[in-house]
C-alpha cells in the first residue's frame, strides 16, 4: 500500500493531499481486503465474519456482498446488519451475557443460530420460546479448558475464563435436551478458545476434545470459532491461512470427524489491510531519555495500553533517532511499544501498521476526543468511510 520510502504514496495517490489537520486517520486498502476475502472463500469451511473486530458500515457491506454471514455479540451489531441488508444474512449470536431483550429480538428475527454459553441462558431461551411459541437453532459453546497459547487477555478457552459451558456440566445439558426439544433445535457444538492464535497445538487439543464430545452425543455442526493470528511483526515467514486450515482439516480427518465445520474469523479480514497515519506533535529532549508525543492517542488506538500489543511504527525517516512514542491523552499508559530507533522530526508523519481489526471499534471519546476519519483506497480513488465525529455527537445526549 505505502511506498513512502520513495516519496509518500498510497497506491498512486500522493500523501500530500492529506492536509495534516485531518490526522490522525485510518487508511484501508480495498485491494488487500478483497485478497483476504478471496483467501477465506477458498477454505473448505463455512466462514462467518466476527463483527466485533470491525463494524464499519462500509466494510460490513463488503462482507454482505461476499460471504454474507455474520457472527455477532450484541443487538447493536445485529441492527447494523439489518441496516445494510433487508434480505436475510446468516447470523450467529455469540456472547456470554445476552439480555432477555437480545434473546427475544433474535428469536423474532429468526436468526440462524444462538450460541448458548450457560445452562441458565438455555433456560431463559427455552422459556421465551415456549411463551411466544417459537423455535430457534442453538449451538452449545463449550469451554474445553485449553490454553490457546496467545495473549492472556484474549484467551477464552481456559477453565477460569468466563466463556462457554464447562465440560463438567455437559451431562446436564444432554439431560435437558429431551425437555427443551420442542422449542430449541440443537444443531451443534461451538468453541472459541482465543484470538491471535499462531500455533496448531491448541487446535490439535481442541479437536481431540471434540472427538470425545461427539462420541458422547453427535450434532451436525461444529463451530471451531475464530482466532487465526496475523503477522503484526512483518516476519519473513508469514502465517499462511491456507496451510493453517489445511492442517486443521488433516487433524479432523485423522479423527474421522465428518461434521460440517463453521469458523468465525474476525482479525484476519481487515487487520493487515489498514494503517493509521498520524503526526508528531512534540519532541522532548530529556537528559536521560528523549521521547515523541504524537497526535494519536489511546482513545484512537487502545490495543497497546489495553493488551500491551505491538503495532509496527514507521516514519518517513528524516530527523533524529527516537525510541519512545506516546499519545496526547492524559494517562501514563498512553504509549506505544517500539524497540527500534526511528528517525523523526517535528511534524513528521508516523505510520502504525496492522490497525484494521480491534482498533477503530475499540476507540472512545476519552478526554472528549472526537473519533477520527476512516478512508479507503480503491482503484486510485479515495473514499471517506467514516467522517470525523462532530462536537454535536459528544453532547447531544445531555439534557
Ligand atoms: C465468539 C467469538 N468468535 C469469533 C471471534 C473472532 O476472533 P478473531 O478475530 O481472533 O478471528 C471472537 C473474538 O474474540 C469471539 O469472541
- What are 4-44's pLDDT values in tens digits? 444 556 656 666 656 677 899 999 999 999 999 999 999 99
Mean pLDDT of 365-388: 93
pLDDT > 70 fraction of the chain, expressed in percent and rounded: 94
Question: Ligand 1 center to residue 150 CA distance, Å?
Answer: 13
The b-or-e profile of 249-266 (16+ CB within 10 A means b, else e) is eebbeeeeeebebbbbbb
Mean pLDDT of 190-196: 98
How far is the C-alpha of 349 from the C-alpha of 355, rounded, in Å? Answer: 16
CA-267 nearest atom, ligand 1: 9
Closest-CA residue, ligand 1 atom 5, reads 226
Q: What 3-state DSSP class applies to 92?
A: strand
pLDDT band at 237 (very low <50, low <70, confident <90, very high): confident
Q: Which helix (H) or strand (E) holds 200?
A: none
Question: Ligand 1 center to residue 107 CA distance, Å?
Answer: 23
How far is the C-alpha of 277 from the C-alpha of 15, rounded, in Å? Answer: 10
Kindly give the interhelix angle for 75-84 and 57-66, rounded to the nearest 10 degrees: 70
Q: 476434545: which residue's cell?
A: 209
| Under 8 Å between Cβ of 31 and 272 | no
From 154-168, 205-219, 373-387, the region with the lowest mean pLDDT: 373-387
From 97-101, 186-190, 333-337, 375-379, the region with the lowest mean pLDDT: 375-379
Is the Cβ atom of 54 under 6 angstroms away from ligand 1?
no
Examine the pLDDT at 200 and tell me if it is beyond 80. Answer: yes
Output the nine-digit C-alpha cell for 72.
455477532
Domain 43-265 = CATH 3.40.718.10:
no
CA-228 nearest atom, ligand 1: 11
Mean pLDDT of 176-192: 95
Tell me which residue of 112, 107, 165 sits closest to 141, measured CA to CA.
165
pLDDT > 90 fraction of the chain, expressed in percent and rounded: 87
CA-95 nearest atom, ligand 1: 1
Tell me the β-bridge partners of 276. 26, 352
User: Among 225, 265, 272, which is best to mutate for testing ligand 1, by the most ligand atoms less than 8 A from CB?
Assistant: 225
Question: Ligand 1 center to residue 351 CA distance, Å?
Answer: 26
Question: Ligand 1 center to residue 195 CA distance, Å?
Answer: 6
Q: What is the predicted pLDDT for the residue at 192?
A: 98
Q: List the domain boundaries for the chain.
A: 9-27+273-395, 43-265
pTM of the predicted structure, to 2 decimals: 0.95
Question: Ligand 1 center to residue 69 CA distance, Å?
Answer: 14
pLDDT band at 379 (very low <50, low <70, confident <90, very high): confident
Is the Cβ atom of 369 under 6 angstroms away from ligand 1?
no
Question: Ligand 1 center to residue 285 CA distance, Å?
Answer: 42
Tell me which residue of 347, 312, 299 sits closest to 19, measured CA to CA.
347
Output the nine-digit C-alpha cell for 91.
447470523
Examine the pLDDT at 239 and tell me if it is beyond 90. Answer: no
Question: Ligand 1 center to residue 264 CA distance, Å?
Answer: 6
Q: What is the predicted pLDDT for the residue at 9?
A: 60
Is the Cβ atom of 192 under 6 angstroms away from ligand 1?
yes
How far is the C-alpha of 75 from the C-alpha of 63, rounded, in Å? Answer: 18
Q: 482466532: which residue's cell?
A: 227
CATH topology (fold) of 9-27+273-395: Lyase, Ornithine Decarboxylase; Chain A, domain 1 (2.40.37)
Q: What is the predicted pLDDT for the residue at 1?
A: 45
pLDDT averaged over every residue in the chain: 93
Is the Cβ atom of 195 under 6 angstroms away from ligand 1?
yes
Question: Ligand 1 center to residue 245 CA distance, Å?
Answer: 16
- What are 246-295's pLDDT values in tens digits? 999 999 999 999 999 999 999 999 999 999 999 999 999 998 889 999 99
Cα torsion angle, 290, 296, 297, 302, sign: negative
Q: What is the predicted pLDDT for the residue at 381?
A: 86
CA-266 nearest atom, ligand 1: 9
Amino acid at each position: 500500500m505505502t511506498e513512502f520510502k520513495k516519496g509518500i504514496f498510497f497506491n498512486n495517490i500522493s500523501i500530500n493531499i492529506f492536509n495534516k489537520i485531518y490526522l490522525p486517520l485510518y487508511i484501508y486498502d480495498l485491494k488487500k481486503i478483497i485478497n483476504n476475502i478471496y483467501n477465506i472463500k477458498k477454505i473448505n469451511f463455512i466462514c462467518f465474519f466476527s463483527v466485533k473486530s470491525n463494524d464499519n458500515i462500509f466494510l460490513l457491506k463488503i462482507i454482505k456482498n461476499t460471504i454474507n454471514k455474520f457472527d455477532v455479540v450484541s443487538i447493536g451489531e445485529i441492527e447494523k446488519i439489518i441496516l445494510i441488508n433487508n434480505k436475510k444474512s446468516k447470523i450467529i449470536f455469540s456472547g456470554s451475557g445476552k439480555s432477555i431483550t437480545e434473546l427475544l429480538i433474535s428469536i423474532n428475527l429468526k436468526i440462524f443460530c444462538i450460541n448458548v454459553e450457560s445452562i441458565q441462558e438455555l433456560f431463559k431461551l427455552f422459556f421465551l420460546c415456549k411463551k411466544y411459541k417459537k423455535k430457534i437453532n442453538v449451538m452449545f459453546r463449550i469451554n474445553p479448558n485449553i490454553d490457546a497459547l496467545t495473549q492472556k487477555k484474549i484467551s477464552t478457552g481456559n477453565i477460569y475464563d468466563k466463556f462457554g459451558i464447562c465440560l463438567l456440566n455437559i451431562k446436564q445439558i444432554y439431560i435437558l435436551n429431551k425437555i427443551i426439544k420442542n422449542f430449541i433445535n440443537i444443531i451443534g457444538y461451538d468453541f472459541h478458545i482465543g484470538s491471535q492464535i499462531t500455533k496448531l497445538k491448541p487446535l490439535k487439543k481442541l479437536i481431540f476434545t471434540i472427538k470425545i464430545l461427539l462420541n458422547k452425543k453427535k450434532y451436525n455442526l461444529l463451530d471451531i470459532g475464530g482466532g487465526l493470528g496475523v503477522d503484526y511483526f512483518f516476519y519473513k515467514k508469514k502465517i499462511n491461512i491456507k496451510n493453517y486450515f489445511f492442517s486443521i482439516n488433516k487433524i479432523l480427518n485423522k479423527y474421522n470427524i465428518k461434521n460440517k465445520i463453521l469458523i468465525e474469523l474476525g482479525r484476519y479480514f481487515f487487520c493487515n489491510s489498514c494503517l493509521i497515519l498520524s503526526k508528531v506533535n512534540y519532541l522532548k529532549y530529556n537528559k536521560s531519555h528523549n521521547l515523541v508525543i504524537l497526535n494519536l492517542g489511546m482513545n484512537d488506538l487502545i490495543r497497546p495500553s489495553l493488551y500491551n500489543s505491538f503495532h509496527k511504527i514507521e516514519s518517513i525517516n528524516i530527523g533524529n533517532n527516537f525510541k519512545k512514542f506516546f499519545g496526547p491523552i492524559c494517562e501514563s499508559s498512553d504509549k506505544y511499544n517500539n524497540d527500534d530507533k526511528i528517525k523523526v522530526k517535528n511534524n513528521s508523519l508516523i505510520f502504525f501498521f496492522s490497525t484494521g481489526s480491534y482498533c477503530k471499534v475499540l476507540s472512545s471519546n476519552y478526554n472528549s476526543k472526537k473519533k477520527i476519519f476512516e478512508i479507503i483506497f480503491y482503484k486510485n480513488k479515495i473514499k471517506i468511510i467514516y467522517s470525523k465525529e462532530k462536537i454535536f455527537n459528544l453532547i447531544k445526549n445531555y439534557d
